[in-house]
């Protein structure tokens, strides 16, 4: 994904040859510095790959959770429709239970 936006690879850095002038930089210092750049560059690529895997997993989890929410909303709508269509509320059910208890236990 990001590879098309990155110009240099760690191999490009490793194989880079500099022209040496009479008053140029010390090749050993340049090599040590380039080695550090290569190491950081490879670590950055590793981090990017890890974050891409994590992002992919989070997207999959998000899709799954959205589907679960849709299913639960559908179930809620079905339950709400069945309650409203029968005209029975929780209060009605509790009254009926109370009346039945009175009848059964003889406290009418």
pLDDT of residue 88: 67
Secondary structure letter of residue 3 according to DSSP: G
pLDDT of residue 63: 94
> Each residue's pLDDT tens digit in the chain (108 positions)?
566 777 778 888 888 887 777 777 778 888 888 888 888 888 988 999 999 999 999 999 999 999 999 888 888 887 777 766 566 677 778 888 888 877 777 754
Tokens 């208890």 belong to 101
pLDDT of residue 64: 92
Q: How is the chain split among helix, strand and coil, in percent rounded to 5?
A: 80, 0, 20
Are 13 and 38 spatial neighbours (Cβ–Cβ below 8 Å)? yes
Q: What is the pTM of this model?
A: 0.56
Cα–chain center distance at 47 = 16
Non-local (6+) Cβ contacts of 37 within 8 A are 13
């Amino acid at each position: 994904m990001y590879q098309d936006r990155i110009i240099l690879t760690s191999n490009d850095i490793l194989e880079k040859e500099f022209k040496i002038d009479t008053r140029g930089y010390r090749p050993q210092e340049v090599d040590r510095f380039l080695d550090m750049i290569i190491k950081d560059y490879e670590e950055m690529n590793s981090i990017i790959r890890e974050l891409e895997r994590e992002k992919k997993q989070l997207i999959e989890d998000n899709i799954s959770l959205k589907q679960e929410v849709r299913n639960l909303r559908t179930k809620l709508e079905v339950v709400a429709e069945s309650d409203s269509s029968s005209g029975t509320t929780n209060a009605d059910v509790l009254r009926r239970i109370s009346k039945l208890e009175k009848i059964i236990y003889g406290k009418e």
